[in-house]
Homo-oligomer: A and B are copies of this chain.
């Protein structure tokens, strides 16, 4: 990021920008100084389901949001070699859900509390990581959120959200390769959901890159900013600290920077 910014290039950067807030801040400073655009790869913001949920809150369709529940489970764990360099589940996997929480609720999280375990593979524990966790979020506006993570959902990739508001609720279902239901003497069944992110989020990957190109061509702000890339890292570090110390942790303990939820202008 720093090199590209100095070269005057607009930047699309995958998440997380870095595991270190210091390095992230240096990168964001370089971007600001160079006046280039930086978009962070939180592709799930461009998924039609999650856009619809955000819209139901943004338009007041479900009123003031009170409770958020994010289910985010992978079909299976990555290799242990990857686990070791991943920064841990919170920085590697939950980071998408931290961003999703902010994106949907259009509010900032002030405190997190983590309960986590090694349930899927003891090797993951031996590598110093966890594979199953629930992270509770407290939002500035008083709403409460939960993120339900597991490295292994035997039926495939499980990506759903649900929000309860003062006027109603909204919930999303997984995406499937087809909508056929087969009924036999054994069961009423359907095929498994789309297996992993390349299938499930193929549309959103296209849309996020189109949005980046649009931002560059039309000189608009990138729809997922550098600050949007930094805050989930703060949340992940707080979630990790909460897990290690067995207590709720305020984000202010980790280090805040001026935050603002950027509107996705599409």
Pairwise interchain contact A115-B138, C-beta atoms closer than 8 A: yes
A118-152 interface with B by 8 A CB criterion:
119-120, 132-134, 136, 138, 142-144, 146, 148, 150, 152
Given contacts A119-B66, A150-B66, contact A155 B191 (CB under 8 A): no
Binding-face segment, A11-19, A176-184, A215-223: A176-184
A190 close to B (CB within 8 Å) = yes
A120 CA / B172 CA spacing, docked (Å): 24
A188 close to B (CB within 8 Å) = yes
A164 close to B (CB within 8 Å) = yes
Given contacts A113-B136, A178-B48, A179-B49, contact A167 B144 (CB under 8 A): no
A52 CA / B148 CA spacing, docked (Å): 22
Pairwise interchain contact B154-A185, C-beta atoms closer than 8 A: yes
Pick the contact of A153 from B64, B164, B192 — CB < 8 Å? B164
Interface residues of A (CB under 8 A from B): 48-49, 51-53, 56, 61-64, 66-67, 69, 71, 73, 113, 115-117, 119-120, 132-134, 136, 138, 142-144, 146, 148, 150, 152-155, 158, 164, 166-175, 177-185, 187-193, 246-248
